């Protein structure tokens, strides 16, 4: 474990405690988890602040929340193969606790707390950077942590396309375990897709994800020239002279005045 962390403990007992779940013994890792959580948030915030100099506070908070959430920590713990080092009680072992995301995520935070106590802030920060820099090298900060509905809305708005329409088309199953079937429509692109989920929100998210993929594909296949609106043309027949109006003329309510007809010679 120390080799995988890139850190050698002076007090190996701290690492052992960090790997110990409360089901195993009274000297468990919950207090270390509390400490590690704070160190993790501080270091990740610092990484984001240094790396993304033009991103505002709201987006920095979104990125940090996504990076330190349980699922992200669980994925890091899996890469470390942390489950094989856990110290669990018999009950947790039988119930598969070594695979449980919450236990693995909490243990990873406890390990960071243990490194902080054993060696100080800098070794803990180095370990966290080793976890997260490779992740940040592969993600888009503009989309990380945003749900499918938000991404779809932003995609359509950036192209001046009306927002999608969501409708519940059916519900399935018993009242206590209903599944919602949701329709997502983007009329301008001719898209109508369906998603399912255990709640209306989940169904909308599923439908939005499919619709976003379809919208991106549709616009990729459409030549740029075909997407540009064609200018409207109107003709005014004044004294036998045709005058063409462009979009700007029509929108402004102005037309190029036609020359007045010459008076007939008497």
What is the pLDDT at residue 143? 78
> Is 141 within a domain?
no
Same domain membership, residue 161 and residue 251: no
What's the CA gap between 70 and 106, in Å, rounded?
8
* Contact assessment for residue 145 and residue 72, using Cβ atoms and an 8 Å cutoff: no
- The position carrying tokens 């950077």 is 129
Find the catalytic residue in 33, 92, 106, 109.
Answer: 109
What is the pLDDT at residue 254? 42
Nearest to 112 by CA among 172, 29, 173, 234: 29
Nearest to 30 by CA among 97, 92, 103: 103
| Model confidence pLDDT, tens digit, residues 216-252 | 898 887 655 455 544 444 333 333 333 333 344 434 4
Mean pLDDT of 19-35: 96
- Assess whether 37 carries a catalytic annotation: yes
How far is C-alpha 118 from the chain's CA centre? 35
Query: What is the count of structural domains for the chain?
Result: 3
Please check the confidence at residue 60 and state whether its pLDDT lies above 50.
yes
Same domain membership, residue 36 and residue 65: yes
> Dihedrals φ, ψ of 169, to 5°?
-100, -20
What is the pLDDT at residue 10? 97
What is the pLDDT at residue 256? 42
Same domain membership, residue 169 and residue 214: yes
Of 89, 115, 136, the residue that ends a domain is 136
> Is 204 within a domain?
yes
What's the CA gap between 67 and 250, in Å, rounded?
51
If one counts every other C-beta atom within 10 angstroms of the C-beta of residue 154, the result is 14
| Model confidence pLDDT, tens digit, residues 156-184 | 998 999 999 999 999 988 877 889 999 99
Per the structure, the complete domain to which residue 77 belongs is given by 2-136
Please check the confidence at residue 22 and state whether its pLDDT lies above 70.
yes
Find the catalytic residue in 37, 106, 183, 204.
Answer: 37
What is the pLDDT at residue 83? 93
What's the CA gap between 172 and 181, in Å, rounded?
8
- Assess whether 122 carries a catalytic annotation: no
Give me 214's structure tokens: 């379809």
Say whether pTM exceeds 0.75: no
Domain containing residue 107: CATH number: 1.10.1520.10
- The position carrying tokens 């990873």 is 108
Mean pLDDT of 188-199: 92
């Amino acid at each position: 474990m120390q080799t995988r962390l890139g850190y050698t403990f002076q007090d190996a007992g701290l690492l052992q405690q960090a790997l110990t779940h409360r089901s195993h013994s009274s000297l468990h890792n919950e207090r270390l988890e509390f400490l590690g959580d704070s160190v993790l948030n501080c270091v990740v915030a610092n990484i984001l602040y240094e790396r993304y100099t033009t991103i505002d506070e709201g987006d920095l908070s979104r990125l940090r929340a996504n990076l330190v959430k349980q699922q992200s920590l669980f994925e890091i713990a899996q890469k470390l193969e942390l489950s094989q080092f856990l110290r669990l009680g018999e009950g947790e072992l039988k119930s598969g606790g070594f695979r449980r995301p919450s236990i693995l995520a909490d243990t990873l935070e406890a390990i960071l707390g243990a490194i902080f106590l054993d060696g100080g802030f800098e070794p803990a920060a180095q370990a966290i950077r080793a976890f997260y820099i490779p992740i940040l090298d592969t993600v888009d900060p503009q989309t990380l942590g945003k749900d499918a509905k938000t991404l779809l809305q932003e995609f359509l708005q950036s192209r001046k396309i009306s927002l999608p329409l969501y409708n519940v088309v059916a519900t399935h199953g018993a009242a206590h375990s209903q599944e919602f079937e949701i329709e997502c429509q983007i009329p301008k692109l001719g898209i109508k897709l369906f998603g399912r989920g255990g709640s209306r929100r989940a169904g909308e998210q599923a439908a939005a994800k499919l619709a976003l993929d379809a919208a991106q594909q549709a616009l990729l296949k459409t030549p740029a020239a075909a997407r540009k609106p064609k200018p409207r043309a109107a003709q005014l027949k004044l004294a036998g002279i045709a005058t063409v109006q462009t979009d700007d003329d029509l929108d402004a309510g102005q037309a190029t005045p036609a020359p007045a007809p010459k008076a007939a010679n008497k």
